[in-house]
């Protein structure tokens, strides 16, 4: 089962290794070492998902070990002709990969928030627009201009934020990103955080 799963997912695993390593010539070595570790593990799996997750973990750990080894070797190396130098000022590929994953999570959350915003009642969407897209104008000035009481705007924004929060909780997204709760809580107290 492992061999079949390995060949089926080899492109994904190769991409994972390539995203972390600076030296692309090491990718095949890391994949080969990972495959040997998998075969030597003699681990039993109940299904393909469990086997794939274990396989991905082995490849990731082997890649990180290889990256650290290269970094140590480069730190002590006097040979400046290295085509792929790993200086301490260079961005860490592992951190870049983590940032990329965080961006993907953040983008998927924003996509869900936009979808939920589109389903809100028009008066709640208008209140959100007034509260968060006011171009440095005071909310009370916009309320006076639109002839909507400030307290009405606050209650509509609170209702809209609660609706968005419920929708994200139902989809299991609300707990994924800690910053969402902080941003939403800050926005729900318009009187405290916004200019009035």
Residue by residue, pLDDT tens for the chain (196 residues) are: 677 888 888 888 888 888 887 667 788 888 888 888 888 887 777 888 888 888 888 888 888 888 887 777 666 554 445 444 444 445 566 677 777 777 777 888 888 888 888 889 999 988 888 888 878 888 888 888 889 898 998 899 899 888 888 887 777 665 544 444 444 444 444 444 444 3
Give 26-62 as a DSSP string: GHHHHHHHHHHHHHHH----SSHHHHHHHHHHHHHHH
- Report residue 178 as tokens: 């800690």
Cβ–Cβ < 8 Å for 156, 123: yes
Longest CA pairwise span in the chain (Å): 73
pTM summary value: 0.41
Residues of the chain with CATH 1.10.1740: 2-76
Could you confirm whether domain 2-76 is CATH 1.10.1740?
Answer: yes
Which residues of the chain does CATH 1.10.10.10 include? 103-193
- What CATH number does the domain located at 103-193 have? 1.10.10.10
**How high is the pLDDT of residue 187?**
42
DSSP letter assigned to residue 137: -
Which distant-in-sequence residues (6+ apart) come within 8 Å of 74 by Cβ?
A: 82, 85, 86
């Amino acid at each position: 089962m492992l061999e079949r799963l390995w060949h089926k997912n080899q492109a994904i695993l190769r991409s994972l290794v390539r995203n972390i390593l600076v030296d692309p010539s090491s990718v095949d070595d890391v994949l080969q070492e990972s495959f040997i570790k998998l075969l030597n593990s003699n681990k039993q799996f109940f299904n393909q998902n469990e086997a794939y997750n274990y396989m991905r973990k082995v490849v990731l750990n082997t890649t990180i070990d290889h990256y650290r080894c290269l970094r140590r070797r480069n730190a002590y190396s006097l040979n400046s002709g290295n085509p792929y130098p790993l200086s301490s000022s260079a961005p860490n590929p592992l951190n870049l990969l983590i940032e990329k994953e965080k961006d993907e999570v953040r983008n998927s959350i924003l996509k869900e928030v936009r979808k939920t915003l589109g389903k809100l009642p028009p008066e709640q969407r208008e209140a959100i627009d007034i509260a968060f897209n006011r171009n440095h104008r005071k909310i009370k000035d916009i309320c006076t201009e639109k002839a909507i009481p400030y307290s009405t705007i606050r209650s509509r924004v609170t209702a809209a934020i609660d609706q968005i929060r419920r929708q994200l909780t139902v989809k299991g997204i609300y707990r994924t990103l800690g910053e969402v709760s902080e941003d939403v809580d800050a926005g729900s107290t318009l009187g405290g955080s916004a200019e009035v």
